[in-house]
Amino acid sequence: MDAARKTPDQVTQRLDELYRRLQDAAASQAGYPCNQLFDYSELYRFLGLSINNVGDPFHNSNFWVNTHEFEREVVNGFAFLMGMEPERCWGYVTHGGTEGNMYGLYLARELYPDGLVYFSEDTHYSVLKTMHILNTRSIMIKSRESGEIDYDDLRETVRIHRDVPGIVLANIGTTMKGAVDDVPRIRGIFRDLAMTDYYIHADAALSGMILPFVEEPQPHRFEDGYHSIAVSGHKMIGAPLPCGIVLAKRDSVARIARAIEYVGVLDTTLSGSRNAFTPLILWYALKRSGLSGFRKAVAAALAVADYAVARFNDNGIPAWRHKNSLTVVFPKPPHSVTEKWQIAVYRDIAHIITMPHVTRATVDAIVADCAAALQQGDCS
């Protein structure tokens, strides 16, 4: 490590080089769900303050340099999108989807200490790590070809373990295929097996900000059977920092809360000190765009996804996407293509995700590269 002190010009040069490299990388990023179109310059002044949202955003704190008020408005806004009355909903702004899923599973474990967690093989890779951290028993369920959880395998596995509470991590948009698990059907399995002690958490990292804005959404609201829901903020919304939100039923959270005298606040979140800038980001996005703005952005992104499927297929490359999904799946292209466009791959498939910054011109360029590879025999 070079620990020598740099001159101001050297520091500036290094930062300028990094900025140019990141700008170039952002322009060619098409395989991961990170929206690059945003402008939060009005919030930059808050970076001059050491703000900290320690503790529960719905409880007063001795540390006043916080944005709890704005965080509460964000929680209430997302509660509305997920069909929950604000007075019955609790939540907080997280560091991202992984923390949101961990919180949901942590809450489920506290409510059902002997519970058994079920999740599909298409669930995000971080869930296995979460199971290890929480020291919770779990069983991976097979997935259908579509990416949905295999309901027959789930039913049989739950039947075998029906003597313990069931905890399900359901996907509202899987990582590689964008599949949505049928939660009413999952609830039906518990009902048929006469199981009343169960908990369903939703990983809605990307699609949680898509389904509320389409005409025929798949089940994604609390009324559909979810007990907690995690949504990412840096995906469809777009943000310069990873962030997200987790929502849960207020009465469930109240059962695990404890008071912390040091900061005069309830300890209900996973971390102590929490980012106080990201609640401003989400608040600003919700207020500036409004429901109509997000509805327009989602419609435009879905139109580009349709365009991408058609362009791939027109060029002899079989591609498809799920209903209401921005994830366009196609055969895995060679490394030169995946590296150029930062395309995510898994086994023999790849995908692009038509986030708002991915244009039709971007799609044309990616398809052209894949078609050229196909002609050269490098792409299956």
Q: Where in the sequence numbering do the catalytic residues fall? A: 325
Dihedral sign, Cα of residue 380, residue 176, residue 329, residue 360: negative
278-314 and 68-81 helices cross at what angle (nearest 10)?
40
Distance CA 262, CA 249 (A): 27
Beta strands in the chain (DSSP E): 89-94, 116-120, 138-141, 166-171, 198-203, 228-232, 244-249, 258-260, 265-267, 327-331, 344-346, 349-353
> Residues 72, 56: contact at Cβ < 8 Å?
no
Which tokens in the block code for residue 26?
Answer: 């952002």
∠ Cα 208 338 352 (to 5°): 25
Three-class SS state of 140: strand
282: number of CA atoms within 13 Å, CB side? Answer: 35
> Residues 122, 177: contact at Cβ < 8 Å?
yes
Dihedral sign, Cα of residue 326, residue 331, residue 335, residue 337: negative
Nearest partner of 103 among 70, 73, 126, judged by Cα: 126
Residues 6+ apart with CB under 8 A from 218: 172, 180, 182, 211, 323, 324
Owner of token pair 């997935």:
143
The Cβ of residue 19 has, within 10 Å, a number of other Cβ atoms equal to: 10
